[in-house]
Amino acid sequence: MKRNLILLAILLLNATMLCAQLSPVFNHLSVTNAAKDSRSRVFLSPKKILWKSDDTGKYIHGAENILKPGNGQAELVNKDLVMLKSDDTVKPGILLDYGKELHGGLQLVTGMMDKNAPVKVRIRFGESASEAMADIDTLTGATNDHAIRDLVIDLPWLGGLELGNTGFRFVRIDLVDANSTLLLKEARAIFTFRDIPYAGSFRSNDERLNQVWATGAYTVHLNMQQYLWDGIKRDRLVWVGDMHPEVMTINTVFGFNEIVPQSLDLIKEVTPLPAWMNGISSYSMWWIRIQRDWFLYQGDLTYLEKQQDYLVALLNQLIGKIKGNKEDLDGMRFMDWPTFSNKPAVHAGLQAMMVMTLTDGAELCRILGDLETAKKCEAAVKRLRKGAPDAGGNKQAAALLALADLIPAEKANREVIAIGGTKDFSTFYGYYMLEAKAKAGDYQGAIDNIRTYWGGMLDMGATTFWEDFDEQWMENAARIDELVPKGKIDIHAAYGAHSYKKLRHSLAHGWASGPTSWLTQHVLGVKVMEPGCKVLKIDPHLGDLKFVEGTFPTPFGIVKIKHTKMADGRINSVIDAPNGITVIK
CATH number, residue 490 = 1.50.10.10
Q: What pLDDT score was predicted for residue 124?
A: 98
Tell me the average pLDDT across 503-529.
Answer: 98
530 touches 255 (CB < 8 A)? no
177 and 285 in a single domain? The answer is no
26 pLDDT higher than 50: no
Residues 390 and 429 in one domain: yes
What is the predicted pLDDT for the residue at 24? Answer: 53
| Co-location of 186 and 210 in the same domain | no
pLDDT of residue 8: 43
Residue 113 placed within a domain:
yes
Decide which of 161, 193, 225 is a domain's last residue.
Answer: 193
For residues 274 and 422, state if they share a domain. Answer: yes
User: Is the residue at 571 inside a domain?
Assistant: no
With respect to residue 313, please indicate whether it lies within any of the assigned structural domains. Answer: yes
Helix (H) or strand (E) holding 226: none
pLDDT at residue 501, rounded to an integer:
92
Which H or E run contains 15?
A: helix 2-33
Report the domain count for the chain: 2
Q: At what angle do helices 343-367 and 281-298 cross, to 10 degrees?
A: 40
In a domain, 21, yes or no: no
Task: Tell me the residue type at 385.
Answer: R
Determine the average pLDDT of the residues in 50-66: 97
Residue 397 lies in a domain: yes
- Which residue stretches of 368-454 are H helix? 371-385, 395-403, 409-412, 430-439, 443-449
In angstroms, how far is CA 343 from the centroid of its own chain?
Answer: 28
Q: Does residue 273 have a pLDDT over 90?
A: yes
**pLDDT of res. 17:** 46
Q: CA-to-CA distance for 122 and 413, rounded, in angstroms? A: 51
Within-domain flag for 218 = yes
pLDDT at 6 over 90: no
Are residues 199 and 445 in contact, defined by beta-carbon separation less than 8 angstroms? no
The sign one gets for the Cα dihedral 33, 247, 39, 200 is positive
Return the SS3 of 220: helix
Contact 527, 521 (CB under 8 A): yes
Check whether 11 has a pLDDT greater than 50: no
Is residue 9 included in any domain, yes or no?
Answer: no
Closest CA to 81 of 188, 182, 178: 182
Last residue within a domain, chosen from 481, 503, 523: 523
Q: Where are the beta strands (DSSP E) in 324-478?
A: 326-327, 477-478
pTM to 2 decimal places = 0.93
> Do 211 and 139 sit in the same domain of this protein?
no
Same-domain pairing of 142 and 214: no
- For residue 13, the model assigns a pLDDT of 46
Banded model confidence at residue 5, pLDDT cuts 50, 70, 90: very low
Report the Cα 218 to chain-centroid distance in Å.
Answer: 8
pLDDT at 479 over 80: yes
- In one-letter notation, the amino acid at residue 339 is T
The amino acid present at 488, given as its one-letter code, is K
CATH number, domain containing residue 178 = 2.60.120.260
323-365 residue pLDDT tens: 999 999 999 999 999 999 999 999 999 999 999 999 999 999 9
245 and 189 in a common domain: no
pLDDT attached to residue 156: 97
Q: What is the CA radius of gyration of the chain?
A: 28
Both 302 and 281 in a single domain?
yes
pLDDT digit string (tens) for 90-100? 999 999 999 99
Predicted local distance difference test score (pLDDT) of residue 140:
86
Question: If we measure between CA atoms, which residue out of 153, 62, 149 comes closest to residue 111?
Answer: 62
Are 59 and 85 within 8 A, CB to CB? yes
**How much is the pLDDT for 257?**
98
CA pair distance 233, 410, nearest whole angstrom: 39
Residues 280 and 149 occupy one common structural domain:
no
On whether both 327 and 302 belong to a single domain, the answer is: yes
pLDDT at 266: 98
Residue 389's alpha-carbon distances to 195, 339, 367, 405, in angstroms, are 46, 16, 31, 12
The 10s digit of each residue's pLDDT in 369-384 is 999 999 999 999 999 9
CA 33 distance to own-chain centroid: 29
Give strand pairing partners of 538: 526
Same domain, yes or no: 124 and 223? no
Say which DSSP state 387 is in: T
389-445 pLDDT, tens digit each: 999 999 999 999 999 999 999 999 999 999 999 999 999 999 999 999 999 999 999
Q: Identify whether 11 is part of a domain.
A: no
pLDDT at 232 over 70: yes
> Is the domain of 70 the same as that of 177?
yes
pLDDT of residue 344: 96
Indicate the residue among 477, 498, 523 that finishes a domain.
523
- pLDDT above 50 (res 15): no
* Chain segment 121-155, per-residue pLDDT in tens: 999 999 999 999 999 987 888 999 999 999 999 99
Residue 240: domain span: 201-523
